Amino acid sequence: MKIAFIGLGNMGTPMATNLVGAGHEVVVFDLVESAMAALEKEGARRAESAESACAGAEVVISMLPAGVHVRGLYLGADGQGLLDALGHKPLIIDASTISPDDARIVGEAAAERGLSYLDAPVSGGIGGAKAGTLTFIVGGDEAGFEQAKPVLECMGRNIFHAGRIGDGQVAKICNNMLLGILMSGTAEALALGVKNGLDPAVLSEIMKQSSGGNWALNVYNPWPGVMEGSAASRDYQGGFLTDLMAKDLGLAWELALKTRAGVPMGSQARNLFALHSAQGNGGLDFSSIQKLYRAGEDD
């Protein structure tokens, strides 16, 4: 299948690489030259623009940072975006995490042009993207979902159909709000134990086997040196950035405000990650929220 892939960042690069590995003809585009060069080495073809990457493609996949980039790509700043260059009607799959409203705006504009659009945000992080074990949470019609499934299966293991366009984003936002709460809660508990003389590895093991066990503690431990291979053990480099978590918690807050849902814990997590980012940690993995609880430790 001929697939256009737009957005070769931390996630897009391994996802596009897996599509090449599965035997698809992949044409890539990113604003960053070196990202395209890396994919070329993996066997993809690079294009000079998003429009030329999509020429003749049966499926268009985008993996961009935020809603502003997705709207900018498909709708264009002046109302002339990529959607107007897709006369051959490929299936569009946007895997970025954006607001449900942004997904619906782009989805409706696609439908007006007779194009099928799915929002398909992912869970599983860079590790899952590399291993091809991502979870895709898809919003859109049944026919589009069935058409997308074999393509998504080249990059992921669990492919869920959440509902209509935008519903994939709602589910993803709920998941990441919970993850932000769990990560900050885990960091808080570890800091309290260490402050009181416990070994973080011993405390982690105790909580893992007790009722405090959770994904952040069990597989993404935020304390450096406790878990081999974790972002915490490599100085919080790479992984899922603090700024992206802050963005997702902002999306949860906006959604809650719009639908009059109470999210006191999500709001607290949003404040913590926003503060952590404001202190210059936006480019570190989100488990670096642990540092916020360790400030002044050596005083």
d(Cα 177, Cα 189) in Å, to the nearest integer? 18
CB of 299 to ligand NAD, least distance (A): 33
CA nearest neighbour of 81 among 60, 95, 56, 58 = 60
Residues recorded for the chain: 299
284 binds ligand NAD (CB under 6 A): no
10 binds ligand NAD (CB under 6 A): yes
CB of 296 to ligand NAD, least distance (A): 30
214 binds ligand NAD (CB under 6 A): no
Q: Choose which of 17, 96, 214, 221 interacts with ligand NAD (CB under 6 A).
A: 96
50 binds ligand NAD (CB under 6 A): yes
Q: Which residue is closest to ligand NAD by CB?
A: 9
133 binds ligand NAD (CB under 6 A): no
Residue 297 in tokens? 């430790």
156 binds ligand NAD (CB under 6 A): no
Contact 184, 288 (CB under 8 A): no
CA nearest neighbour of 35 among 52, 11, 51, 65 = 11
Name the DSSP class of 103.
Answer: H
Query: Per-residue contact track with ligand NAD, 184 to 203, x per CB under 6 A?
Result: --------------------
Q: Which stretch binds ligand NAD (CB under 6 A): 1-9, 154-162, 222-230, 268-276?
A: 1-9
DSSP string, 21-81: HTT-EEEEE-S-HHHHHHHHHHT-EE-SSHHHHHTT-SEEEE--SSHHHHHHHHH-TTS--
35 binds ligand NAD (CB under 6 A): yes
230 binds ligand NAD (CB under 6 A): no
Chain positions contacting ligand NAD, by CB under 6 A: 6-12, 29-32, 35, 50, 63-65, 69, 72-73, 96-97, 122, 125-126, 240, 244
